[in-house]
């Protein structure tokens, strides 16, 4: 067993990583190819050429073999995990018809397919008519059909990015149920394509024949073709195993299989997830996402801009630390941690509400971000700590909503993503939640989650429980400091939880006066 490796291909927003794991969940080798930033033909659009994603996969794999001297023949299987919600249109020859529309894209259409009046009446009775209309307007398929009808007419396959990469690797239109997160006719409860009579087939322009075959995580999707082998270096015939979307893989890669363990992802989008065998809608009529474990769900609350705000701060106000780090030969993150630690818990009353991007329900489409409590004592260090605290407050609110809907108390936390590398962020998260907070033993948790799917699919472990137990473990753990937790508890209950309700009417006034944020 120790001589065989699992290859995870992790196609994120900013880079593609090819990572070799052994069967104990250790990283044996890794290569990374940074992606060009998405391009925008119009404001709010976010597109990326699908072929560029594939070329990055090929380069990452070839660099892996060249840099580390590992024989590709030692790879027992391959699994793909990708960013969620990015879609690709292919013609009958399997060629992309247009650039992929990424998950960051903000276009929408007001022209949507008609839905039977009985369905519309049912939506109004359930109080979700506006939510359904919002989702229909956001659907990429609906926009393409209205605005690029010639493209939609030629579309033979409409795939998530994962389905496109799987196709390039094994030449089959097949994908994992765990990767179906987007505006598509997917039955999130049944973890399959929606039934023939489901309203989604009316609400979305997608046709059944344009969708791939779906198999659960851990299934064999196919084998690496000779053509793919020639450009990636992965031996032809190597099994390709179904994994899941990157957030779902992060959850199991962080060891969060039980519903009492919360998985926080401090990435571009900050999330809190729990894994459950029970179907739970944390926000009514907004389904949980498929997990990286067959028959399970990821109960998720997300803060859309999340740790993007941290990077925003560093770009706008962090020049001093960047220059100083270069002069001292240290990582800038170490100096940013010093910035956080120079400020007491609670940032001397500076509070942030991290709704930098409007939402569907919580927050609503009028939402904006806010910072309150400014005084002459506050510096950029206070602002930086307030950003980290505000994100943790929002995720704690998400934790409590998950607990209320699921009936299961969350008793410990795991944190993955870029923010997990900051000791200061880890400690203040433990203090705000009042829970022991751990980082996994490896940073690449989405890649590890995909490797776990591959390990089970190839029979190295009899089930997911044994694979997760063998391949994941805790790294550093941060215990909450009682005095800090007391301060945060007061601020959370008496201030943070009241901010949105009190500011919401003002957000609506801002929207009406300025036209921003636009109704999406």
pLDDT in tens, 118-141: 999 998 988 888 888 888 999 999
Three-state DSSP class for 178?
helix
Query: What is the average per-residue pLDDT within 501-517?
Result: 89
Instruction: Say which residue the tokens 């939880």 belong to.
Output: 497
Instruction: State pTM to two decimals.
Output: 0.93
Q: Which residues of 429-467 are buried (b: 16+ CB within 10 A; e: fewer)?
A: bbbbbbbebbbbbbbbbbbbbbbbbbbbbbebbeebeeb
Here the tokens at position 11 are 């196609």
Q: What was the pLDDT predicted at 1?
A: 44
Three-state DSSP class for 348?
helix
- pLDDT surpassing 70 at residue 2: no
Three-state DSSP class for 435?
coil
Q: Sorting pLDDT into bands at 50, 70 and 90, what band is 48?
A: very high
SS (H, E, C) 209-258: HHCCEEECCCCEEEECCHHHHHHHCCCCCCEEECCCCHHHHHHHHCCCCC
Q: What was the pLDDT predicted at 134?
A: 85
Q: In what order do the strands lie in the sheet with 289-290?
A: 289-290, 297-303, 270-276, 261-266, 412-416, 437-440, 474-478
Which is nearest to 16 in space by CA: 450, 479, 382, 337?
Answer: 450
pLDDT in tens, 77-105: 999 999 999 999 999 999 999 999 999 89
Three-state DSSP class for 346?
coil
Least confident of 80-84, 158-162, 184-188, 357-361: 357-361
pLDDT in tens, 467-498: 999 999 999 999 999 999 999 999 999 999 99
**What is the 8-class DSSP label of residue 205?**
-
């Amino acid at each position: 067993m120790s001589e065989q490796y699992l290859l995870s291909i992790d196609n994120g927003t900013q880079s593609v990583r090819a990572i070799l794991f052994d069967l104990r969940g250790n990283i044996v080798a890794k290569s990374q190819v940074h992606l060009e930033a998405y391009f925008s033909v119009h404001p709010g659009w976010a597109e990326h050429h699908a072929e560029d994603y594939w070329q990055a996969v090929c380069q990452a794999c070839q660099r892996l073999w060249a840099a580390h001297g590992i024989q590709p023949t030692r790879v027992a299987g391959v699994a793909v995990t990708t960013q969620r919600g990015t879609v690709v249109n292919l013609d009958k020859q399997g060629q992309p018809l247009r650039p992929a529309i990424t998950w960051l894209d903000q276009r929408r259409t007001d022209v949507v397919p008609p839905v039977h009046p009985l369905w519309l009446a049912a939506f109004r009775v359930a109080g979700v008519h506006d939510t359904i209309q919002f989702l229909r307007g956001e659907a990429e398929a609906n926009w393409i059909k209205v605005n690029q009808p010639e493209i939609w007419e030629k579309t033979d396959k409409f795939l998530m990015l994962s389905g496109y990469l799987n196709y390039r690797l094994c030449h089959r239109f097949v994908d994992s149920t765990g990767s179906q997160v987007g505006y598509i006719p997917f039955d999130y409860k049944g973890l399959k394509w929606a039934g023939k009579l489901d309203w989604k087939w009316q609400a979305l322009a997608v046709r059944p024949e344009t969708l791939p075959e779906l198999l659960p995580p851990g299934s064999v999707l196919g084998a690496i073709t000779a053509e793919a082998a020639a450009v990636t270096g992965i031996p032809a015939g190597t099994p390709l195993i179904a994994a899941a979307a990157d957030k779902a893989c992060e959850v199991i890669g962080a060891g969060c299989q039980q519903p009492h363990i919360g998985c926080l992802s401090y990435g571009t989008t900050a999330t809190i997830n729990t894994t459950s065998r029970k179907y739970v809608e944390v926000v009514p009529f907004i389904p949980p996402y498929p997990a990286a474990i067959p028959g399970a769900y990821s109960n998720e609350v997300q803060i859309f801009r999340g740790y993007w705000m941290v990077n925003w701060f560093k770009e706008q106000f962090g020049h001093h630390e960047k220059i100083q780090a270069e002069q001292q030969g240290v990582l800038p993150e170490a100096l940013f941690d010093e910035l956080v630690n120079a400020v007491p818990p609670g940032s001397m009353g500076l509070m942030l509400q991290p709704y930098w991007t409007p939402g569907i329900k919580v927050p609503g489409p009028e939402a904006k971000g806010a910072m309150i409590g400014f005084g002459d004592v506050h510096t950029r260090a206070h602002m930086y700590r307030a950003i980290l605290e505000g994100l943790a407050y929002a995720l704690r609110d998400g934790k409590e909503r998950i607990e209320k809907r699921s009936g299961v108390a969350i008793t410990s936390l795991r944190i993955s993503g870029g923010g997990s590398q900051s000791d200061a962020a880890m400690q203040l998260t433990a203090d705000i939640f009042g829970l022991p907070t751990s980082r996994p033993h490896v940073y690449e948790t989405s890649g590890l989650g995909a490797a776990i799917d591959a390990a089970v699919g190839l029979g190295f472990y009899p089930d997911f429980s044994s694979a997760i137990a063998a391949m994941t473990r805790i790294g550093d753990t941060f215990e909450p400091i009682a005095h800090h937790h007391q301060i945060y508890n007061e601020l959370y209950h008496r201030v943070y939880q009241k901010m949105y309700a009190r500011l919401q009417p003002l957000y609506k006034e801002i929207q009406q006066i300025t036209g921003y944020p636009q109704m999406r």
